[in-house]
Structure 1
Amino acid sequence: MNKNRKWNARWIWSDVSENEKNVFYYFRKNFNLKSTLENYELFISADTRYQLFINGKLIGRGVPQSQPFYQYYDEYNLDGKLIKGENCIAVVVYHLGTLPDTRGGLLLEITGPEDETVIKTDDTWRAKKSPAWQQNTYSYLPNRVTPFQEVFDARLEPPNWKEISFDNNCWLHSTIIAGMIHDQPPCAGPWAKLVPRDIPFMKNENVFAKKIEKIEENLQLANRSRPTDLSPGLSMVGKPIKYSKVENAENLLNENGVTIVQSSLNHKNLDFDGIYSPAIVLDFGRVITAHSKISLKGAAGSMIDIGYAERLIDGNFNISMECEFADRYILKDGDQVFESFSWKSFRYLKIRFLSCFEPVTINSIEAVISTYPFEEKGDFNSGDKLLNSVFEISRDTLQLCSNEFLMDTPWREQAQWLGDVALVTVPAIYSCYGDTKLARKFYFQAGQNQHPTGMISNISNTVNHDWIHAIPDYSLWWVQGIWEHYLYTGDEEVVHHLYPQLSRILYAHLDYINNDGLIENIPYWPFIDWADVDKRGICSVYNAIFYETLKSWNKIAKFKGDNYTAELSEKLLTKIKLNFNKFLFDEKRGCYADANINGKLSEKISEHGNLTPIFAGLCDAELSQKIIDKVFIEKNDLIFTEAQPFYMAVVLRALDQTDNFPLAISLIRERWGKRMVDKGATSTYEEWYQNGSWRDGDFKGFLRTHSHAWSACPADFLIRRLIGLEILESGCRKIKLSPQKTDFDYDVTFPTPLGEINVINKSGEIKISNPAGIEII
């Protein structure tokens, strides 16, 4: 695919306001083909999302969520999709409208066998604002991709509008979006850089629920305080069916048979008070990312509300407190199918039937899973069932958090958080799948979102100008990740192209280095972890992360032949090593304090503050072991703040580096095993607790996600660290292996760009196999 293709098409939109929120538009164009029907290519981009149809059939969805200054476009081969004579292209474009620097737009072009332009978006296209999708719906704005509840009225959709025969003469002509000097892309609109899709299209799979969790009925009452919010009605606790009707609900678990539902009719007797609406809660057995799809037959005006939840609260479906993800479908007459425009994350699906005074026949309720098409090349299998389960929920979480972008969680934000992905998700993807495309996309996309301060934006799958709350330590993890990506893939282009951004991060930190060579009072939002760590003054954790990052900078600078930066990083490394213990080690307590504030050591001590210096190599082997014993082994009066799942990626590596691998395995069993697996987790929780956090020192109750990839580091650790794998030459051409001798047998596969390495430990005997092209030492 040509990265700099010349577009003959123009960005178009309706002549209605460009600043609308949560709006859907229809676009269509008929065209005639007289020649061969092969070797036609279609290129398309949209702000924000599209569904593409040719001759009434769905061709695809896109584009990957992005910033307008790094706007993706998709390409489709149309072999077998066009017909001789008249054809129709129809596109639904959804514009989110909540992000800065964006506006609605569609760009589409079809080229023929000779690369000639056959059809292109221009002012001959017809456009219409969709009357079927309600615009003023409730939104949960922390979500960066699909914050609005979707309300679709099938009665208002123009019948057959995607078909060739549809008469669109009453629709308005599209308007070409102008640029400052020219309307030819990339000059037009905010889309200054058009990037070809660099990942595959998502994999879809239709699945049925595993069981019916609950069948109930509720009074149908208006939510007059928040009339646009569907979640309170869906969260009402119901009673067993008495007045309404639900027949053969078990048929919803497969494709055989139908289910009949109907609202109560007793209100027609004036002595009866109220309308009762039936509801069904379906359990899909695990958290999934999917579109809801319902095939049914009913009367026009009947309504179905659909709620999405990762978990039940006190045994009940409740989404009214947070993450109010819900949709509504208003029926037309007859047979029909509704599929939500956007996927959601859920385990539990609640379907509530409102004003269904005529029987509604449900043919099926399915989830259409949308996920990244990984191939499971890596694996961990052992004689320890608990460790196997920890690995499985960790790997499943990686899959959940991998779509057209990498994300912290598919449930709440759906955001490509910089540090989450660089420290935990990407290394685990290498170990479990060997995929490099999604990681490469992440590094490039994040690199386009650098703030004027030099820090990289926290989030990179959408526009984010919030430089004040940028997390500086996340930029450091990103730097380390780029070097690790190069080592794994051998992809030099990533380092070359992103070197200016890497350099700016380094120089941004120079302003906060004190006379003793230590970072002091780093501004913005130093995060570290969702834990009660003291980050003021000279923070031990931050300085240790910075020290480790300087090693990556030094290697990258030497790779680039940048002697100045190489020498600078070496000087900084030397000075930090000289003064770190002097200012941060507490002789009285025998461990590192979290911080030194104006010459006084913080009272707070943590696993973070003590294991990160070990991870970074800031203390020798003897001191490292004393600290580890004090933190994890000795019984003393010291209370170390516990690392949450995210930061365990550092803690576990520090233990492994100091020959404390058995202790690392013990912590995995204790923390992921007891706190997640034993509680029925099918994917990893955001923190150790589902219902609250100790992040401020006291426990506060609020929902934590059941699908957080930053908690999935065992997926990497139980493969890479178990076999003692170290990449010595880029592209995995030379690898050092030091397999652990454990109290359990294991069979581990680590995928590389050159093939899979397999290590088997059976009864203490180690067997290694590797592909040609990899030197093992």
Structure 2
Amino acid sequence: MSILELVPQLKKFKTIYEKGDNVQLPEKWIWLDPVKYPNNQTTNFSAFCTNDNGNYSVAEFKKSYIFNKKIQKVHLRFCGDTEFRLYVNGNIFATGPVTVEGDFIGNENPRSNYYATEADFYPDGNELSFFSVVKMMPVKICEYSKGHGGFMLAATVTFDDGEKIVLTTGPDWQSRLNKAYYAPYRFDAGLDEDDFCNSCVVDNIWHTTTAPLAIRTEDVKHPIGEKFVTVPPRGDAECIFYFDMIYAGYIMLDVVCYGKVETEVVCSETGEQGSSEYITTVGCCNYRGLQLHSAGSFSVKIKNLSDSKAIVSPRFMTTFYPVNKQVVTRTGDADVDLILDVCAHTLKYCRQLHHLDSPRHCEPLACTGDYYIESLMTSFSFGDMSLCEFDVLRTAQLLRNNDGRMFHTTYSLIWVRMLYDVYMITGNKMLLTDCEDALLMLLKRFESYVGDNGLIENPPDYMFVDWIYIDGLSMHHPPKALGQTCLNMFYYGALDYAARIFRLMSNEKMALVLDERRTRLCGNINAQLYDDEKHMYFEGLNTKSPEEYIGQYMPQNVDKRYYLKHSNILAAYFGVCKEDPCDLIEKIMADEIPGDVQPYFCHYLLEAVFSNGLREKYTMPIINRWIEPVKECSKGLVEGFVAPEPTYGFDHSHAWGGTPLYSLPKALSGFEILEPGMKKVKLSPCSLGFDNPRVEIPTSYGNIVCDIKSDGSFTLVHPREITVITE
């Protein structure tokens, strides 16, 4: 039976998340007066749009209330397009909005969803004031707009006597254009300041869904050493301010002067020329930027145009998804423990309102390979899977929006495994039922890519394999001869885990269909993509790709047959192997199969080593490869081992290479989940040659703690709610 025959009528994104008082609050949007600000109303849908007339605008909104009785609690629901800061009673309360499901394609129209945030505020007294700064226009590629500026807030105010009232944004809110933010990364306090006037109600084009996410945490970081620079009248100064680690956050600048000062702040992770902001202040000023940066240092150039001295103090307002706890695995080896620390630090600052590949790149939600690994890293460090769960759900919406298609073809298949694994970690079955229709769309699409030879033959591309070049060809978007086998391997894995998902939903009929397809695909892979003489897989056939598919991300095929580690790693990882997968891993580790892999692809190698019983032999030889790059830069995690091209500079805030944070404690403990939600797990600890390592694994019931002796014995502490089987 064809999957095409089993696809039901597709449903919309259906889960409604109720938070706080569980009251449906009104959604009334306001914006700047179109008569006064006719050129500050509409904008681009995304930063991918070629139209540069995005009408970059920063608006301010405010409203104050004084009541005749004390406020007990305020339940808030709010959102802004495209980015906002919300202050309540004079203090910053939240930044947003929660990121929508974005991709590198499909940006000619607005995204279907927009997300609001709900949270509670507890004032001390009878006064309530709101102030919001709203930036209209996507700048980073993970930012999206509905095409019009807007801000929305609704509040249920509960008083001490139990009375409740509802407040909303409306025409009685005051607003103005803040002309000082005149362009992205540009600020000039010397520009004329507008007076506040009444706001205008605009049509609700957003129809927000409440995101089940917490408000991001903020923490100000001061430079180590010198905290400020003094510039004489009419003088210039240059200074580099260093931070102890590489952080994600917003530039802050305190300037004390009686005149005009021009400051350029260049953010750098490791000394490269990174992102920058140009700030002109007049008199004393406390500046905070609107764009997220990644930095381990600020390079500051100052021009004092006044007749008085200027004191300039930079700070970094770092931001990250809340961390309620963090468990730590310790091996006793300082080099290895440093790897784990750097991986955890980088993960922390990639966890924003969606997982980022890095705060330097700020790629959209569609980089699923990165976020899948980050979800596994989270499960062995911070434990809170709420961001991972919502990434899974938003990716499902992304698939719905584009008929099961994502820009990176392999990443759409990795989403299936991410869905399964996040469910097994959390036990949240709603993930499966909510994503069922998107999963069917994905499977339907890939069924259409299968050719007469039973392999995927006609995909739109073979992205993404690895961030590396072979013979001048990019494995980011390889030709068929370098990408076909890997894509078929990922398809095999998606069929496998999709069948498991349908069995969990008691749909045995669909599971059997997928099992049959997977078995057939395995036979075709081994018959056509395996070299019986060399006893290894090659990367793809040399037949031509259809001309109508050829483009920037689908180069025409080449005549050379390639034998690389990538397809062979995946064969062992997914269990496709025609012969003993352990023999294949031995060849990979002995470099009997050509090529190199980056940290990202080492994740699949470590998983293959674990699943095939070789963790004691090969876990540490693989992880030891991180030692030198982490020693070279312990402030953040480097993107790769080998530069993909001579001019490419790696960032050092890239969590996709942080698999040791997951793979090492897993290998030490032999951890396997036997029942969803970690209600039943299996441990088979081994020391991996370390002296008395300790593994901590967070669960919703508390931490599993395993102390392992070098002789293989161990002691175990775990929550009583969890059944632990040991070997």
Q: TM-score range by the shorter chain?
A: 0.7 to 0.9
1:122-141 deviations in Å (ceiling 9; x for gaps):
22323211122113xxxxxx
C-alpha distance 52-101 of structure 1, shift in aligned 2 (>3 A): closer
1:23-64 deviations in Å (ceiling 9; x for gaps):
101222344422332233232211122222345443333222
C-alpha distance 88-387 of structure 1, shift in aligned 2 (>3 A): closer
The answer to whether residue 702 in structure 2 is matched with residue 774 in structure 1 is no
Q: Is contact 1:606-1:643 (8 Å) kept?
A: no
Q: Is contact 1:594-1:602 (8 Å) kept?
A: no
1:328-383 deviations in Å (ceiling 9; x for gaps):
222222x4322223432101101211144434443743222211222344321012
Counterpart for residue 196 of structure 1 = 210
C-alpha distance 94-552 of structure 1, shift in aligned 2 (>3 A): same
C-alpha distance 363-19 of structure 1, shift in aligned 2 (>3 A): closer
C-alpha distance 569-54 of structure 1, shift in aligned 2 (>3 A): closer
Among 314, 329, 334, the alignment partner of 1:385 is 334
Secondary structure at 1:701's aligned position in 2?
Answer: coil
**Inter-partner Cα distance in structure 2 for 1:115 and 1:719:** 52
The CA deviation at 1:565 is 1.8
C-alpha distance 75-300 of structure 1, shift in aligned 2 (>3 A): farther
The CA deviation at 1:472 is 1.5
1:409-450 deviations in Å (ceiling 9; x for gaps):
001234334323443110110111111111112111222212
Counterpart for residue 705 of structure 1 = 651
Counterpart for residue 410 of structure 2 = 473
Q: Is contact 1:202-1:371 (8 Å) kept?
A: yes
The answer to whether residue 78 in structure 2 is matched with residue 39 in structure 1 is no
Q: Which segments of 5 or more consecutive residues in structure 2 lack a partner in the other structure?
A: 1-16, 44-54, 102-110, 545-557
The answer to whether residue 540 in structure 2 is matched with residue 506 in structure 1 is no
Which residue identity does 1:550 align to in structure 2?
A: L
Counterpart for residue 747 of structure 1 = 694
The CA deviation at 1:707 is 0.9
The answer to whether residue 511 in structure 2 is matched with residue 580 in structure 1 is no
C-alpha distance 646-670 of structure 1, shift in aligned 2 (>3 A): same
Counterpart for residue 150 of structure 1 = 186
**Inter-partner Cα distance in structure 1 for 2:588 and 2:282:** 64
Q: Is contact 1:592-1:605 (8 Å) kept?
A: yes
C-alpha distance 262-589 of structure 1, shift in aligned 2 (>3 A): farther
**Inter-partner Cα distance in structure 2 for 1:576 and 1:59:** 52
Among 625, 629, 635, the alignment partner of 1:682 is 635
C-alpha distance 206-171 of structure 1, shift in aligned 2 (>3 A): closer
Moved more, 4-13 or 374-383: 4-13
Counterpart for residue 11 of structure 1 = 29
Moved more, 573-582 or 29-38: 29-38
Q: Is contact 2:356-2:371 (8 Å) kept?
A: no
Measured on the aligned residues, the alpha-carbon RMSD in Å equals 2.6
**Inter-partner Cα distance in structure 2 for 1:97 and 1:417:** 17
Q: Is contact 1:725-1:737 (8 Å) kept?
A: yes
The CA deviation at 1:633 is 1.7
C-alpha distance 340-451 of structure 1, shift in aligned 2 (>3 A): same
Secondary structure at 1:330's aligned position in 2?
Answer: strand
Give the TM-score normalised by the residue count of structure 1.
Answer: 0.79
Counterpart for residue 563 of structure 1 = 508
The answer to whether residue 705 in structure 2 is matched with residue 758 in structure 1 is yes
Among 91, 97, 108, the alignment partner of 2:153 is 108
1:425-484 deviations in Å (ceiling 9; x for gaps):
101101111111111121112222126653354xxxxxxxxxxxx112101111111111
The answer to whether residue 480 in structure 2 is matched with residue 536 in structure 1 is yes
Which residue identity does 2:589 align to in structure 1?
A: F
Q: Is contact 1:483-1:556 (8 Å) kept?
A: yes
Q: Is contact 2:230-2:312 (8 Å) kept?
A: no
1:679-716 deviations in Å (ceiling 9; x for gaps):
23422211214xx31xxxxx432222111111111110
1:490-548 deviations in Å (ceiling 9; x for gaps):
10111111110011111111112234432223223521211345651682212121112
Counterpart for residue 58 of structure 2 = 24
Larger radius of gyration: 1
Q: Is contact 2:238-2:301 (8 Å) kept?
A: yes
Secondary structure at 2:256's aligned position in 1?
Answer: strand
Secondary structure at 1:731's aligned position in 2?
Answer: helix
Which residue identity does 1:477 align to in structure 2?
A: I
Which residue identity does 1:711 align to in structure 2?
A: G
Counterpart for residue 724 of structure 1 = 670
Provide the aligned length of Structure 1 versus Structure 2.
652
**Inter-partner Cα distance in structure 2 for 1:118 and 1:49:** 24
C-alpha distance 348-680 of structure 1, shift in aligned 2 (>3 A): same
Q: Is contact 2:100-2:113 (8 Å) kept?
A: yes
The answer to whether residue 441 in structure 2 is matched with residue 400 in structure 1 is no
**Inter-partner Cα distance in structure 2 for 1:9 and 1:584:** 56
Q: Is contact 2:234-2:303 (8 Å) kept?
A: no
Q: How does 1:124-135 map to 2 (within 5 A)?
A: 124-135=172-183
Which residue identity does 1:103 align to in structure 2?
A: H
Q: Which segments of 5 or more consecutive residues in structure 1 lack a partner in the other structure?
A: 136-147, 159-169, 179-187, 212-249, 253-257, 266-276, 320-324, 458-469, 694-698
Counterpart for residue 618 of structure 1 = 576
**Inter-partner Cα distance in structure 2 for 1:155 and 1:453:** 44
**Inter-partner Cα distance in structure 1 for 2:309 and 2:619:** 54
Which residue identity does 1:420 align to in structure 2?
A: G
Counterpart for residue 305 of structure 1 = 264
Secondary structure at 1:331's aligned position in 2?
Answer: strand
Counterpart for residue 424 of structure 2 = 487
Q: How does 1:417-436 map to 2 (within 5 A)?
A: 417-436=366-385
Among 272, 276, 279, the alignment partner of 1:326 is 276
Counterpart for residue 598 of structure 2 = 644
Percent sequence identity over aligned pairs: 19
Counterpart for residue 175 of structure 1 = 200
C-alpha distance 157-82 of structure 1, shift in aligned 2 (>3 A): farther
Counterpart for residue 79 of structure 1 = 122
Secondary structure at 1:93's aligned position in 2?
Answer: strand
The CA deviation at 1:209 is 1.4
C-alpha distance 153-82 of structure 1, shift in aligned 2 (>3 A): farther
The CA deviation at 1:295 is 2.6
**Inter-partner Cα distance in structure 2 for 1:285 and 1:589:** 50
Secondary structure at 2:398's aligned position in 1?
Answer: coil
Q: How does 1:542-561 map to 2 (within 5 A)?
A: 542-561=487-506
C-alpha distance 652-568 of structure 1, shift in aligned 2 (>3 A): same
1:139-198 deviations in Å (ceiling 9; x for gaps):
xxxxxxxxx31324166456xxxxxxxxxxx644322212xxxxxxxxx21x13x22242
Counterpart for residue 255 of structure 1 = none
Secondary structure at 1:722's aligned position in 2?
Answer: helix
C-alpha distance 60-422 of structure 1, shift in aligned 2 (>3 A): closer
The CA deviation at 1:8 is 3.3
Among 210, 221, 238, the alignment partner of 2:224 is 210
Moved more, 726-735 or 52-61: 52-61
Counterpart for residue 274 of structure 1 = none
**Inter-partner Cα distance in structure 1 for 2:56 and 2:294:** 20
The answer to whether residue 629 in structure 2 is matched with residue 629 in structure 1 is no
Q: Is contact 1:27-1:90 (8 Å) kept?
A: yes
Q: Is contact 2:94-2:216 (8 Å) kept?
A: no
Q: How does 1:346-365 map to 2 (within 5 A)?
A: 346-362=295-311, 364-365=313-314
**Inter-partner Cα distance in structure 1 for 2:27 and 2:589:** 63
Among 514, 519, 522, the alignment partner of 2:459 is 522
Secondary structure at 1:526's aligned position in 2?
Answer: coil
Which residue identity does 1:395 align to in structure 2?
A: A
C-alpha distance 444-586 of structure 1, shift in aligned 2 (>3 A): same
Counterpart for residue 547 of structure 2 = none
C-alpha distance 51-630 of structure 1, shift in aligned 2 (>3 A): closer
Secondary structure at 1:27's aligned position in 2?
Answer: strand
Which residue identity does 1:769 align to in structure 2?
A: V
Counterpart for residue 2 of structure 1 = 18
